[in-house]
């Protein structure tokens, strides 16, 4: 008799470790080999639990998976993906094994910062104006046209990586040059490759998108999208690092309510229309949106759950385990989402290194002793090398802290206070 597993495509060692411990025997992992070459405090999957293959080679990865399934007598009951660069492969494999997952076309539309907003504007969904940028003068022309600041970003990137706020023409030219230089040799070929935009195939390392900059309160939410509608799972407010690279999130506040001027039913209706406009029918999706002038404007909708510290924050806030929920969605198990009153207000604080170098020691004793702190996860250890933007956007992420904020005190102030309790000793890596 065959064993059934949910295929988890392309995720990281920390997620793999959590899933193996909390849900033993439920998942099979298809993993990029370089993930196992990085220093890691996590244990390795057992025999038969993981297939290692170059995930940029869709056909080769699919064939390696097929051989593993046959050799181990495994049948796939579903498919899950938590990482943007692996969504396209997950969609292809879902089609191969007739598993429920967004189509390759829907994944491509949602992942493309130009295409998604083009579809939204055609469907009447409020979102920033955008333009393809093939050279610095395209960005300058867009800045002049809309007469307001623009955000220059990769077509298919994620988070704050290579995202630049440009208020003047010189900012556009400088940002474009930096992106061209840094993306040219970027190692992540799956994140930055060829894609369709504006009716043609373009190289996302050479063609970018300029987006209208809008000020306002920014939020992140997860939804469960179904054929008959959607269910809002959670809404988290974002707090940003003003002194860090533009768009870098300092913390998430959960739960957060929509501003009073926003009609919840209208928001859900817009969200459903925005999903359908991208071809999304059934999946867990993460939406980033901004509230500007009493209106919700959609920034990005991706068919995966929110990352960073959000899964840990959700679990401590309500007991809701997003990783387990994603497995349940994948293989069709009964689903349960906590009611609003079950969520307690907590903050997930991202811990970022302030400068480049090699870590000698991280002391979190004072932080863990603070009565507000409910959880602290530091993934970097001795010998870990830190780089900073624009050279690298991920290596400075050292971990996160979950805490219960004090009432009547500004949350950003408390975040900085707690972050200041961490003692990091570093040596120059040059």
Place 1 in a pLDDT band, splitting at 50, 70 and 90.
very low
pLDDT tens-digit profile of 53-92?
A: 999 999 999 999 999 999 999 999 999 999 999 999 999 9
Per-position DSSP letters for 93-162, written without gaps between them: HHHHTT-----HHHHHHHH-HHHHHHHHHHTT-----EEEESSHHHHHHHHHHHTS-EEEEESS--TTTT
81 part of a folded domain: yes
Q: What's the rounded mean pLDDT across residues 196-212?
A: 88
Confidence at residue 199, expressed as pLDDT on a 0 to 100 scale: 81
* Cis geometry, peptide bond prior to residue 390 (ω within 30 degrees of 0): yes
Residue 2: pLDDT over 70? no
Pairing mode, strands 27-31 and 130-133: unpaired
Shared domain for 324 and 362, answered yes or no, is: no
How far apart CA 120 and CA 373 sit, in angstroms, is 41
Q: Which residue has the tokens 């598993």?
A: 99
363 part of a folded domain: yes
Place 427 in a pLDDT band, splitting at 50, 70 and 90.
confident
Shared domain for 87 and 7, answered yes or no, is: yes
How far apart CA 91 and CA 316 sit, in angstroms, is 31
Domain count, the chain: 4
Q: What are phi and psi of 281, to 5 degrees?
A: -120, -45
CATH number, domain containing residue 428:
3.90.1170.50
Residue 158: pLDDT over 90? no
Shared domain for 404 and 291, answered yes or no, is: no
How far apart CA 263 and CA 280 sit, in angstroms, is 23
Place 369 in a pLDDT band, splitting at 50, 70 and 90.
very high
57 part of a folded domain: yes
Q: Which residues of 86-117 are buried (b: 16+ CB within 10 A; e: fewer)?
A: bbbbbbbbbeebebebbbbebbbbbbbbbbbb
Shared domain for 297 and 358, answered yes or no, is: no
Shared domain for 181 and 233, answered yes or no, is: no
Residue 430: pLDDT over 60? no
Identify which has the larger pLDDT, 247 or 289: 289
Q: What's the rounded mean pLDDT across residues 149-165?
A: 90
Residue 417: pLDDT over 90? yes
**How many helices (DSSP H) and strands (DSSP E) are in the chain?**
13, 21
3-state secondary structure of 410: coil
**DSSP label at residue 303:** S
112 part of a folded domain: no
CATH number, domain containing residue 140:
3.30.1490.20
Angstrom CA distances, 187 to 34, 100, 107, stand at 11, 30, 22
Shared domain for 290 and 352, answered yes or no, is: no
Residue 29: pLDDT over 60? yes
CATH number, domain containing residue 75:
3.40.50.20
Q: Which of 85, 101, 117 is the last residue of a domain?
A: 101
How far apart CA 4 and CA 123 sit, in angstroms, is 40
Shared domain for 276 and 196, answered yes or no, is: no
Place 38 in a pLDDT band, splitting at 50, 70 and 90.
confident
Side-chain half-sphere CA neighbours of 62 within 13 A: 13
418 part of a folded domain: yes
How far apart CA 115 and CA 410 sit, in angstroms, is 38
Q: Which of 59, 81, 101 is the last residue of a domain?
A: 101
**Percent of the chain residues topping a pLDDT of 90:** 70
190 part of a folded domain: yes
Per-position DSSP letters for 51-106, written without gaps between them: EE--TT-HHHHHHHHHHHHHHHTEEEEEEE---GGGHHHHHHHHHHTT-----HHH
Shared domain for 227 and 324, answered yes or no, is: yes
Angstrom CA distances, 230 to 267, 275, 285, 315, stand at 11, 10, 10, 21
Provide the β-strand partners of residue 8. 29, 80
pLDDT tens-digit profile of 392-402?
A: 777 788 889 99
How far apart CA 300 and CA 68 sit, in angstroms, is 35
Q: Which domain does 178 fall in, by range? A: 129-212
8 Å CB contact between 199 and 94 = no
How far apart CA 195 and CA 180 sit, in angstroms, is 16
Tell me the average pLDDT of the chain: 91
Shared domain for 266 and 220, answered yes or no, is: yes
First to last CA, the chain: 57
How far apart CA 161 and CA 240 sit, in angstroms, is 14
Q: Which residue has the tokens 């579809």?
A: 119
Q: Which of 101, 121, 141 is the last residue of a domain?
A: 101
Q: Give the pTM.
A: 0.92
Shared domain for 228 and 206, answered yes or no, is: no
Shared domain for 362 and 291, answered yes or no, is: no
Shared domain for 95 and 143, answered yes or no, is: no
284 part of a folded domain: yes
114 part of a folded domain: no
């Amino acid at each position: 008799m065959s064993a059934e597993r949910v295929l988890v495509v392309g995720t990281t060692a920390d997620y793999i470790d959590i899933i193996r411990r909390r849900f033993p025997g439920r998942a099979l992992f298809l993993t990029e080999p370089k993930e196992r070459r990085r220093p890691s405090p996590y244990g390795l999957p057992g025999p038969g639990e993981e297939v290692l293959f170059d995930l940029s080679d869709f056909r080769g990865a699919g064939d390696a998976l097929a051989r593993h399934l046959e050799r181990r007598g495994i049948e796939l009951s579903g498919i899950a993906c938590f990482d943007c660069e692996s969504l396209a492969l997950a969609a292809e494999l879902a089609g191969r094994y007739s598993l429920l997952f967004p189509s390759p076309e829907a994944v491509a539309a949602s992942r493309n910062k130009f295409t998604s907003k083009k579809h939204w504007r055609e469907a009447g969904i409020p979102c920033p104006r955008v333009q393809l940028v093939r050279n610095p003068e395209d960005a300058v022309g867009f800045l002049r046209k809309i007469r307001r600041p623009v955000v220059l970003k990769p077509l298919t990137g994620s988070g704050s990586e290579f995202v630049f706020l440009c208020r003047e023409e010189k900012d556009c030219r400088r940002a474009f040059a930096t992106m061209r230089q840094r993306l040219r040799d970027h190692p992540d070929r799956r994140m930055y490759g060829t894609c369709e935009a504006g009716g043609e195939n373009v190289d996302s390392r050479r063609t970018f998108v300029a987006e209208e900059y809008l000020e306002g309160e920014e939020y992140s939410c997860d939804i469960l999208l179904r054929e008959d509608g959607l269910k809002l799972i959670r809404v988290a407010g974002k707090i940003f690092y003003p002194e860090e690279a533009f768009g870098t999130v300092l913390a998430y506040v959960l739960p957060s309510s929509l501003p009073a001027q926003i009609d919840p039913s209208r928001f859900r209706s817009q969200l459903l229309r925005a999903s359908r406009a991208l071809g999304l029918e059934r999946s867990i999706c993460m939406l980033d949106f901004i509230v500007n002038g009493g209106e919700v404007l959609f920034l990005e909708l991706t068919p995966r759950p929110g990352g960073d510290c959000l899964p840990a924050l959700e679990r401590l806030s309500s007991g809701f385990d997003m990783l387990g929920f994603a497995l349940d969605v994948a293989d069709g198990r009964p689903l349960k989402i906590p009611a609003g009153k079950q969520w307690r207000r907590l903050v997930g604080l991202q811990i970022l290194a302030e400068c480049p170098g090699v870590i000698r020691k991280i002391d979190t004793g004072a932080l863990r002793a603070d009565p507000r702190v409910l959880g602290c996860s530091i993934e970097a250890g001795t010998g870990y090398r830190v780089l900073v933007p624009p050279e690298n956007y991920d290596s400075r992420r050292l971990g996160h802290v979950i805490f219960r904020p004090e009432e009547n005190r500004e949350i950003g102030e408390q975040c900085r206070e707690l972050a200041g309790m961490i003692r990091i000793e570093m040596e120059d890596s040059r």
